[in-house]
Chain A
Amino acid sequence: MNDTDPPVQDPRSSAILEPGHTFASVTDKISSIVLSRRTPRFWWVGFLAAFSLTMWLFAAIGYLLVRGIGVWGVNIPVGWGFAIVNFVWWIGIGHAGTLISAILLLLHQEWRTSINRFAEAMTLFAVAQAGLFPLLHLGRPWLAYWLIPYPNTMALWPQFRSPLVWDVFAVSTYATVSLLFWYVGLIPDLATLRDRARRKFFQVLYGMGSLGWRGSATHWHRYETAYLLLAGLATPLVISVHTVVSFDFTIGIIPGWHSTIFPPYFVAGAIYDGFAMVLTLAIPLRAVYGLEGFITLRHLQNMAKIMLATGLIVAYGYMIENFMGWYSGNTFEGYTVFNRLTGPYAHYYWALMLCNILTPQLLWFKRIRSTPWILWCIAMVVNAGMWLERFVIVVTSLHRDFLPSSWGMYQGTVWDWSIFIGTIGFFIALIFLFIRFLPMISIFEMRTLVPAADVDGEPPPAPGRIEGEV
């Protein structure tokens, strides 16, 4: 992009806040969704649907706990199936929020402001779903706490060479920091809601949440410091979590897992998927709640560009994997690649290529990037593609490893699907609760984008410049 580009027709396409907004209008518009506007019909319908799926998830979990892990399709040789696929997928989705909030904050990307709040919420909810799977996939889930180093009379510790123990630390740290980051960012807005709420119950509820925020200069000073520190803390975590998750595979000896490219390739994939999920949620939300003024086409475009970039990194990863299969000269590695391309799961592989490499190439075109419904479709395709990617990594590597005598097949059962779809329902239910009870866009940060907030007298940054920084 450069300045000589002809202006697009829609003035909102390049702005990060629709012109004409004032402090009051921003606050009114966002807080009214929670406080004054009637809960729209679609919310009830959507929430009830998602809530039913959540209940089905709990039923499926109950059945799993009563009967045992055998209700899933896992077997020998494919000891990990949907559970680990879903775990990695959800953790990946949980990357965008912190990335948007922390890294883009540190990089002074102001356009992040309108999407960071619900991206963070999405992160939390996705990590919550992800966290279910490592527990549920255990043969004896009630003993999961044995993975945590705690002092005990038998002086037994976890086995620290196992990447699964690293996972425990990586995921729990990430979940904690993400929660703190999200909550700290919420405090000033909770205070706004407290002040505007008319019913006692909500006044008390938001009041407790806002921790006595009065908006004094000291409060703001401490808030800024804490938020910046947390951003600094969260930034390495974005990289580390998925790196550690990728170690679950790279530490293994299995061809198709034992690869040094996994950490960067997993992180890129996670960001790719995370942004796809943000788009998946943001596009319908802005349409339904009329938030086109806050989440502008500019946001959508920027996210699409990030997806394009990370998608290309992921494509590079696929390419190197296949190349190394040949270049290593290793029979087993070579066969694994061959088997992925032509074996019984080849249709998964080629679907993955279609979803993750071919489809996102459409994002090169600005017209596509600025057409929300197409963007939404592409995001959905990428979501599916990233799930397929994890399926291909987990299942096709395991199902045919070293000794052909132990080769087998894997297929998810109805309970595998129930739990997977159930977590999607649970996730959406949480998102629905979030948009109903908390401001989905950061009110106070949006207010800093209003022209009146520009106290230094500097002109607002030119749109082209910001785009160029992305």
Chain B
Amino acid sequence: MSGQGLPLPVFTPGRTAAPAEPEPLDFDGLKKRLDGERGAGYWRSLEELAKTPEFAAALREIDNGRNLEEGFDRRDLLKFMGVSFALAGLTACTRQPAEKIVPYVRQPEQVIPGGKPLYFATAMTVSGFATGLLVESQLGRPTKAEGNPMHPASLGATDLFGQASLYDLYDPDRSQTLQYLDEIRPWAAFLGAARKAAGEERATGGAGLRFLTESVCSPTLASQLASLLRDFPGARWIEWEPAGRDNVREGARLAFGEYADVVADLAKADVIFSIGSDFLSCGPGNLAMTRHFSRRRRPEGEHGPMNRLYVVETASTVTGANADHRLPVPASRVEDVVRGIAKALGVAGSGANGSVASSPNPFEAAVAADLKAHAGRCVVLVGPEQAPAVHALGHAMNQTLGNFGKTVRAIEPVDARPSNQLTGLVELTRDMAAGKVSTLVILGGNPVFTAPADLEFSAGLAKVKHRIHLSPHVDETSAACQWHIPQAHFLEAWSDARCFDGTASIVQPLIATLYQGRSAHEVLAALQGAPEASGYEIVRAFWRGELGTDFETRWTRALHDGVIEGTAFPDKPVRMAESPGGSGPSGVAPGGASASSPPAGDPASPELELVFRPDPKLLDGRFANNGWLQELPDPITRLTWDNAALFSIETAKRLGIRKEDVVELKLRGRSLKAAAWIEPGLPDGTVVLNLGHGRTRGGRLGTGTGSNAYALRCSDALWSARGLEVRNTGVSHPLASAQLHQNMEGREIVRAASLEEYQKNPAFVHEKEKEPEPSLSLYPQYPSDTYAWAMAIDLSACVGCNACVLACQSENNIPVVGKDQVRRGREMHWLRIDHYYGGAPANPTHFFEPVPCMHCEKAPCELVCPVGATVHSAEGLNDMVYNRCVGTRYCSNNCPYKVRRFNFYHYSTQFRAPSMRMLANPDVTVRWRGVMEKCTYCVQRINGAKIDSELADRRVKDGEITTACAQACPAEAIVFGDLADKNSRVAKLRENPRNYGLLSELGTRPRTTYLGSVRNLNPALSREVQTDFPHTELDTETGQK
């Protein structure tokens, strides 16, 4: 308390009269005074009447002469208080500065704040080849990638990389500033340095100038480079793609005598023979191939009779997993096997090597017979890992079978400048080592990490005077260069690209560069002395020349459609080049110019062979810092966050290796430590190691996961090498597998049959079914007078490519939890793809099964939630009320499908990073710690469509709502819709005899149902689809705490 001197007012109820002694009234005097009064007189007391001095004093006090010290009455107290408070309030009054705000008077065209997102067509390139995308933009920020139905390489579908591209855009580890020797520099500083370097180079005609790019399918970039090469005649342009297509190009040159791309149309193919080609998961045109392949996988035959896929491969791929018949072959023997088949087909000059011809394999005979029987309606595909000779054989087989012009066609190469990239890189390193290179401009790519180990690329690089590197991250190569330029993401910068059939697209940005990113076009323009040229102008200038008349209309149309009309390459007439001897097509003969044929070894000794392959998720390592891709389970091994040295069961047994043992791989004096994993179906004696892991400067997520396979990769053995030595170090390295059991344990989970069995009994899925009668439930049916949402997943069509998993993750703000949490069994994917083995462990059959929430009509989870946080909607959705969830996890325990996911920690804090915050879909709640979550059938999309339909006073039409998973699916395996509409696609699929409910014998009545898997088996090889799998070393309880 302050102001001690101030007397505090004392509140006293009622009037306080002077406490003076009351004097006795003088009645006589009173009478006298009253005598003189006339008229009406009113008085309240005798004192008043008498007008005594006491009374007068009292009156005076009431009216005027207040005495504060005598206390306050109630009213005064309130008055004083009121005034005091009012005055006190005055002190808070400061003058507000005048700041004019601008109301949203002029709304940007089409933007509805907080309402509808916009979609823009653009294209993403992976290894140069474009895939068309439609990217969702929520108030100016890209939030979701979808496929562009008008783009021939997408057809509306997306793959992993398209979905994951959003994560890359907002990756907090992206390089944000231009750097010179790790110090931040302005763009002008680089321009100065570039001008100086260019000046130096111009003096020698560019003899010391080198450009190193990734594969370029961008016409604009190619023309820029061509123009630079004209300016600097001595300069060279080298392309290097670590998981590249050199073999494809060289194979075509062997076969046709010139470079050409061969494009297959699987829609017309009855029999497909893939030689190590993983066309269902990556590579140019993979989405279109998957679409056409899986349309023909349905035994009902809407799009033609069911096709049959034969695969010869070394490492297990998604394509191999979908094969009707797969033959695992060591890499060194693939050519022999193919040669055997080619010979059986009558390909001239395919005479087999001595070691093969002795015993014709039943597989080879069957493939050859089947191909022959379907001449002109079959296709032979060869993977980029196969030697050029195998490619040449593939072309020769297609030629012999008369497939050219029917199921395959040759076109001009889509690569802007087809070349042998390896030769180019070898020359570059030789020149660098010899000190002939004075300026090296690396546009994208990470050659320090990816160049073959024997080239000693970094040693050579150190001798280059000016080293400039454009890349999205400060990576291994940036660290070895002086200048690092942050590369703009494709959603931030203008560009263009061609897809597998030559169709060009404009790469349209959706957002201004988040940081100081530059595109390759802008960097090249700066080197050419046009430092202020924007990517937009450069790309437009190029296409103004290409599109000719009516440019603006055609340009706008190209931006809108995402494809430039009429840019697909026409068929290119090719002719098999005759070999000098005239005995057949050149390159086909044994011992032909197969550059990477393995060194001869003793076939009797069990020599080990190391096989490299691009990682199904990280490819060559470019996606190493992408959390979505890192945490995505490998389609076959189900490993996350790591690569592993993969051994077959027999090989592991022989070498005494168990899962998670750290093995030392020794190859030609180089050694690498890697964790081991066992994978049935690999050829014995083969060790498979995925590229792209083990980054040393890969960002916070990419650094230190897995082992760097490039450390063992030599330029003469890019894809496989013999003479591998394996030593078990006795140490173990924990690996995080998202699925520890890939054995159905004889349960009716994936129900499968051969086409023959299906034709005998189309309802084969119900053979062993024990589904209880609906009347057995005590609970009443849910009302059926509204929508009844349901999903049907065709296991015959599903190829297991994982695109749906990432689409779900992107749509529903699903957090990434990290390796440790995955290992503890806490991954958050709402939709998972289960993978099971069947048959013999040496060469198993693979089954994929996407498992979202089943939205059971009688859901076990709803019964046990104590707070009603998971409830059933009238439309049949099993809804999660995040706000209400207290986290007992009882619902998850009671879920027979285990599709519920729990926020054990506050995983969603990752959406708090400033850039990651922009990644989140504003239509979906970000979940808190301690809350259960699961698939909602994309309820935000359902409600969006319902609002639209209610505005138009109609029901939601079939196909109007697509869940994220169904939209991404290239195989069209997932169909979502309204069961109440008898004509909807999902209602019809439910009527399909192949339709069954997973674990429906429990009485859960799932709304998500499956269509049984049918394999088109060749009766000559086997007649039955095996779903049983023996217990093997695979089942050891590792991989989880």
B307 part of interface (Cβ distance < 8 Å): no
**Residues in A neighbouring B867, C-beta threshold 8 A:** 146-147, 156, 158-159
A239 part of interface (Cβ distance < 8 Å): no
B304 part of interface (Cβ distance < 8 Å): no
B544 part of interface (Cβ distance < 8 Å): no
Tell whether, in the assembled complex, residue B893 and residue A398 are in contact, meaning their CB atoms are under 8 Å apart: yes
Q: Which residue of B lies closest to A345 (CB)?
A: B1037
Q: A398 vs B740: C-alpha distance in the bound complex, in angstroms? A: 15
B825 part of interface (Cβ distance < 8 Å): yes
Tell whether, in the assembled complex, residue B901 and residue A76 are in contact, meaning their CB atoms are under 8 Å apart: yes
**Residues in B neighbouring A157, C-beta threshold 8 A:** 868
Q: A253 vs B865: C-alpha distance in the bound complex, in angstroms? A: 13
Tell whether, in the assembled complex, residue B745 and residue A404 are in contact, meaning their CB atoms are under 8 Å apart: yes
Q: A70 vs B901: C-alpha distance in the bound complex, in angstroms? A: 13
**Residues in B neighbouring A409, C-beta threshold 8 A:** 740, 825, 1037, 1040-1041
Binds A, one of B153-161, B436-444, B614-622, B925-933: B925-933
Within 8 A of B (CB), among A162-186: 162-165, 168
Tell whether, in the assembled complex, residue B898 and residue A406 are in contact, meaning their CB atoms are under 8 Å apart: yes
Q: Which residue of A lies closest to B821 (CB)?
A: A70
Tell whether, in the assembled complex, residue B904 and residue A73 are in contact, meaning their CB atoms are under 8 Å apart: no
CB-CB under 8 A for A159 and B888, given A69-B904, A78-B825, A405-B851? no
Q: How far is the CB of B1040 from chain A (nearest CB, A)?
A: 5
Binds B, one of A133-141, A282-290, A381-389: A133-141
Tell whether, in the assembled complex, residue B892 and residue A77 are in contact, meaning their CB atoms are under 8 Å apart: yes
Q: A121 vs B747: C-alpha distance in the bound complex, in angstroms? A: 50
**Residues in B neighbouring A146, C-beta threshold 8 A:** 866-867, 884, 886
CB-CB under 8 A for A164 and B890, given A403-B999, A405-B836? yes
Within 8 A of A (CB), among B846-904: 849, 851, 860, 863-868, 884-890, 892-894, 896-898, 900-904
Q: Tell me which of B834, B860, B1041 contacts A253 (CB under 8 A).
A: B860
**Residues in A neighbouring B893, C-beta threshold 8 A:** 77, 79-80, 252, 254, 398
Q: Tell me which of A139, A141, A411 contacts B903 (CB under 8 A).
A: A139
CB-CB under 8 A for A73 and B1041, given A78-B825, A79-B889? yes
**Residues in B neighbouring A403, C-beta threshold 8 A:** 747, 749, 834, 851, 896-898, 998-999
Tell whether, in the assembled complex, residue A140 and residue B825 are in contact, meaning their CB atoms are under 8 Å apart: no
Tell whether, in the assembled complex, residue A77 and residue B885 are in contact, meaning their CB atoms are under 8 Å apart: no
A408 part of interface (Cβ distance < 8 Å): yes
Tell whether, in the assembled complex, residue A139 and residue B866 are in contact, meaning their CB atoms are under 8 Å apart: no
Tell whether, in the assembled complex, residue B739 and residue A139 are in contact, meaning their CB atoms are under 8 Å apart: no
Q: A192 vs B388: C-alpha distance in the bound complex, in angstroms? A: 102
Q: Which residue of A lies closest to B849 (CB)?
A: A405
Q: Which residue of B lies closest to A137 (CB)?
A: B888
Tell whether, in the assembled complex, residue B743 and residue A404 are in contact, meaning their CB atoms are under 8 Å apart: yes
Interface string of B915-937 (1 = CB under 8 A from A): 00000000000001111100000
Tell whether, in the assembled complex, residue B825 and residue A77 are in contact, meaning their CB atoms are under 8 Å apart: yes
Of residues A146, A252, A335, A402, which shows the largest number of chain B Cβ atoms within 10 Å of its Cβ?
A402
**Residues in A neighbouring B836, C-beta threshold 8 A:** 404-405
Q: A402 vs B886: C-alpha distance in the bound complex, in angstroms? A: 26
**Residues in A neighbouring B1041, C-beta threshold 8 A:** 73, 409, 411
Within 8 A of A (CB), among B729-780: 739-747, 749
Size of B's binding interface in residues, CB under 8 A: 58
Within 8 A of B (CB), among A406-429: 406-409, 411
Tell whether, in the assembled complex, residue A407 and residue B741 are in contact, meaning their CB atoms are under 8 Å apart: yes
Tell whether, in the assembled complex, residue A401 and residue B896 are in contact, meaning their CB atoms are under 8 Å apart: yes
Tell whether, in the assembled complex, residue A140 and residue B747 are in contact, meaning their CB atoms are under 8 Å apart: no
Tell whether, in the assembled complex, residue B892 and residue A138 are in contact, meaning their CB atoms are under 8 Å apart: no
Q: Tell me which of A79, A254, A332, A405 contacts B834 (CB under 8 A).
A: A405
Q: Which residue of A lies closest to B1039 (CB)?
A: A409
Q: A464 vs B582: C-alpha distance in the bound complex, in angstroms? A: 113
Q: A252 vs B863: C-alpha distance in the bound complex, in angstroms? A: 9
Q: A407 vs B1041: C-alpha distance in the bound complex, in angstroms? A: 13
**Residues in B neighbouring A271, C-beta threshold 8 A:** none
B824 part of interface (Cβ distance < 8 Å): yes
Tell whether, in the assembled complex, residue B898 and residue A401 are in contact, meaning their CB atoms are under 8 Å apart: yes
Q: A192 vs B873: C-alpha distance in the bound complex, in angstroms? A: 63
A37 part of interface (Cβ distance < 8 Å): no
**Residues in A neighbouring B931, C-beta threshold 8 A:** 139-140
Q: Tell me which of A147, A164, A332, A407 contacts B864 (CB under 8 A).
A: A164
Tell whether, in the assembled complex, residue A68 and residue B851 are in contact, meaning their CB atoms are under 8 Å apart: no
Q: Tell me which of A67, A248, A252 contacts B905 (CB under 8 A).
A: A67
B826 part of interface (Cβ distance < 8 Å): yes
Tell whether, in the assembled complex, residue B887 and residue A69 are in contact, meaning their CB atoms are under 8 Å apart: yes
Q: Tell me which of B747, B835, B866 contacts A162 (CB under 8 A).
A: B866
Q: A248 vs B888: C-alpha distance in the bound complex, in angstroms? A: 12
B1002 part of interface (Cβ distance < 8 Å): yes
Interface string of B977-998 (1 = CB under 8 A from A): 0000000000000000000001
**Residues in B neighbouring A80, C-beta threshold 8 A:** 889-890, 893
A205 part of interface (Cβ distance < 8 Å): no
Q: Which residue of B lies closest to A252 (CB)?
A: B894
CB-CB under 8 A for A139 and B930, given A164-B866, A253-B894? yes
Interface string of A118-148 (1 = CB under 8 A from B): 0000000000000000000111110110110
Q: How far is the CB of A88 from chain B (nearest CB, A)?
A: 14
Q: Tell me which of B745, B832, B864, B888 contacts A138 (CB under 8 A).
A: B888
A39 part of interface (Cβ distance < 8 Å): no
Within 8 A of B (CB), among A64-100: 67-70, 73-80
**Residues in B neighbouring A411, C-beta threshold 8 A:** 1041
Of residues B741, B885, B894, B932, which shows the largest number of chain A Cβ atoms within 10 Å of its Cβ?
B894
**Residues in A neighbouring B79, C-beta threshold 8 A:** none
CB-CB under 8 A for A158 and B866, given A69-B887, A147-B886? yes
Q: Tell me which of B745, B863, B868, B905 contacts A158 (CB under 8 A).
A: B868
Which A residues lie at the B interface, using CB under 8 A?
Answer: 67-70, 73-80, 137-141, 143-144, 146-147, 156-159, 161-165, 168, 248, 251-254, 331-332, 335, 344, 398, 401-409, 411
- Additional 12 contacts, C-beta under 8 A, given A139-B887, A161-B863, A407-B741: A68-B929, A69-B902, A73-B1041, A139-B903, A139-B930, A140-B886, A156-B868, A401-B898, A402-B747, A404-B747, A405-B835, A405-B836
Give 13 CB contacts A-B under 8 Å.
A74-B904, A75-B904, A80-B889, A138-B887, A139-B889, A139-B929, A157-B868, A163-B864, A164-B864, A165-B866, A248-B890, A403-B999, A405-B749
